């Protein structure tokens, strides 16, 4: 099954047991969860780059944003998770970043959105 409405069995089948974020989604590794719905989970980043730095991940394993694009329903669920996260945190201004590939700074190969807020951001980013 794709996207939202996953059963526990669907989630387990969609997991990569070697993936840190899959293990967080499964509750095997603790995290400070700030938002959760059927399609996404948001938790605080352990190495924050802004006063508010949250990672929003799909509950299913996708390597990067290109991989996620193969499943529009899961992509929509991730965007809805970002919307829910910023609403639950009361954010009106924030930056969302997707790193794709090691050379771009991706260190966990489970697609995730960085939601950053609480300070001024310059353009272009560093």
102-to-39, 52, 64, 109 alpha-carbon distances in Å:
25, 23, 11, 9
Distance in angstroms (rounded) separating the CA atoms of residues 63 and 87: 26
Per the annotation, the verdict on 112 as an active-site residue is yes
Helix, strand, or coil (residue 111): coil
Residue from 53, 61, 110, 112 carrying the catalytic annotation: 112
Nearest in space to 81 (alpha carbons), one of 122, 125, 41: 41
* Cβ-contact 77, 40 below 8 angstroms: yes
What amino acid positions are annotated as catalytic residues? Answer: 112
């Amino acid at each position: 099954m794709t996207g939202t409405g996953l059963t526990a069995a669907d989630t387990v089948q969609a997991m990569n047991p070697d993936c840190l974020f899959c293990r967080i989604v499964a509750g095997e590794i603790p995290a400070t969860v700030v938002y959760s719905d059927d399609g996404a989970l948001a938790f605080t980043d352990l190495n924050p780059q802004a006063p508010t730095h949250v990672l929003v991940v799909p509950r299913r394993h996708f390597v990067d944003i290109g991989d996620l694009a193969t499943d529009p329903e899961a992509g929509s669920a991730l965007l809805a998770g970002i919307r829910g996260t910023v609403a639950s945190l009361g954010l009106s201004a924030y930056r969302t970043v997707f790193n794709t590939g090691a050379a771009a700074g991706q260190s966990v190969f489970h697609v995730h959105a960085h939601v950053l807020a609480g300070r001024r951001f310059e353009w272009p980013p560093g």
